[in-house]
Chain A
Amino acid sequence: MAFDILEPGLATSVQDLGRLGYYNVGIPQGGAMDQLSASMANALVGNAETDAVLECAYLGPKFTTDTDAVIAVTGAPVQVRINGTATEQWTRLALYAGDEVSFGMLSGGTRYYIAVQGGIDVPLVLGSRSTYALGALGGLQGRALKAGDTVPVGTVEPSGPRPVRESIPEDLRPAYAKEVTVRILPGLYDHRLTAEGMETLVSASWKLTPVADRTGLRYSGPDIAWKPRTQPFGAGSDPSNIVDAGYAVGSIQIPGGKEPIVLHRDAVSGGGYAMVATVISADMDVVARSAPGTVTHFEPVTMEQALVARADAARTRRAVWE
């Protein structure tokens, strides 16, 4: 069972929950950028949450299925078409052998997810099917899909898994807002900013630039002042340079005091830029859903608040599986 890719879309890749446990050797956790949407897609088709899905950015693929299949599309609002006829997102869809799936234009957000019953069946690499394109690892031959690819789909047991839900209720679906608040935990290098610099970071309205991908997202806004310092041995000459250190997932850098960058799921694990704060894990999906132009406010929180938010996010995620 397989999907035949007629058009690949802009950057369609196989993703799952991520490749945990290798960050210390420089391999990022990766996985679906918008974990909640990917999880909901799996719930709709009767998969396990660990099954791999297709992540589509901006322009989706056009593909046919070689056997009957059950799919679901979640994530950024987009028109889904089966054999040219518009159909619904956030619901289970039945495909017959030979059916063609294609997509219209996004009306918000950035990424949407296609789950298929049985999961995308590429080999596990270091415990995950996620594509890490920079490292040419995982997914389909370690890269985004191309026209002419055959994407293997897992076989479903004769008894079949029971889909958890037929559709996702509107109140459980994530929002794709033009203005968002992203909670951050200050540190580890916030002491390197001036007081005004930190104040600017948490009070300015930042606008997501088109320079945003699975590695990181760059925001435009006012300049942020770093404290002057004597260049330490081993650090670069920019005031935001440090002696190399490990990067927290979701950490924020401000090279040269201009345009903060939020590192995302495929970011490098370390380097020589000071991290002034880290996006809390509960809000990484919010960042992942942001389209260029999204007005973003960074709100500082404490570790206790971050942990409460993480527990809340886990409850939301579990809700569709009950």
Chain B
Amino acid sequence: MADIVSPLPGIFYRKPAPDKEPFANEGDSIEAGQTIGVVEIMKQFSEIRSDVAGTLESFAVEDSGTVNPGDIIATVSEG
């Protein structure tokens, strides 16, 4: 299991825009470096990426939830 951690505070969004599909869903297989969401702070959106390839097991933060630096956003089972 690998945790995807937010490096910065802000609002976590799972979709690139309100009317778009989520970047990734629970159960999806994802690549290393794949974007799973964005964090908005100071009117800027920073992409949150997975360091590992595997299956996205779960999100620890809801869509539009507040995150702080070091907070776990999602968990990936490697392989």
B16 interface contact, C-beta 8 A: no
Closest to B39 in A: A210
Binary interface encoding of chain B residues 14-44 relative to chain A, with 1 for a CB under 8 A from any of its CBs, else 0: 0000000000000000000000000011111
Instruction: Please determine whether B44 and A10 come into contact, CB atoms closer than 8 angstroms.
Output: yes
Contact status of A11 and B7, CB under 8 A, knowing A210-B66, A293-B68: no
CA A58 to CA B46, docked complex, whole Å: 11
Residues of B within 8 A of A212 (CB): 42
Q: How close is A59's CB to chain B, nearest CB, in angstroms?
A: 6
Instruction: Please determine whether B69 and A210 come into contact, CB atoms closer than 8 angstroms.
Output: no
The number of chain B residues with a CB under 8 A from chain A is: 16
Q: What secondary structure prevails in chain A residues at the interface with B?
A: loop
Instruction: Please determine whether A11 and B11 come into contact, CB atoms closer than 8 angstroms.
Output: no
Residues of B within 8 A of A292 (CB): 9-10, 41, 66, 68
Instruction: Please determine whether B70 and A293 come into contact, CB atoms closer than 8 angstroms.
Output: no
A88 interface contact, C-beta 8 A: no
A213 interface contact, C-beta 8 A: yes
Instruction: Mark out the residues of chain B between 36 and 74 whose CB falls within 8 Å of any chain A CB in the assembled complex.
Output: 40-44, 46, 66, 68-70
Closest to A291 in B: B9
Instruction: Please determine whether A105 and B70 come into contact, CB atoms closer than 8 angstroms.
Output: yes
Residue of B5, B7, B41, B70 touching A210 (CB-CB under 8 A) = B41
Which of A105, A212, A293 has the most chain B CB atoms inside 10 A of its CB?
A105
Contact status of A105 and B7, CB under 8 A, knowing A210-B66, A293-B66: yes
CA A52 to CA B42, docked complex, whole Å: 23
Q: How close is B53's CB to chain A, nearest CB, in angstroms?
A: 23
Q: Which residues in B have some Cβ–Cβ distance to A below 8 Å?
A: 5, 7-11, 40-44, 46, 66, 68-70
Q: Which residues in A have some Cβ–Cβ distance to B below 8 Å?
A: 10-11, 57-59, 105-107, 210, 212-213, 291-293
16 additional A-B pairs beyond A59-B8, A106-B69, beta carbons within 8 Å, are A10-B8, A10-B46, A11-B42, A57-B42, A58-B7, A58-B42, A58-B69, A105-B69, A107-B70, A210-B10, A210-B40, A210-B66, A291-B9, A292-B9, A292-B41, A292-B66
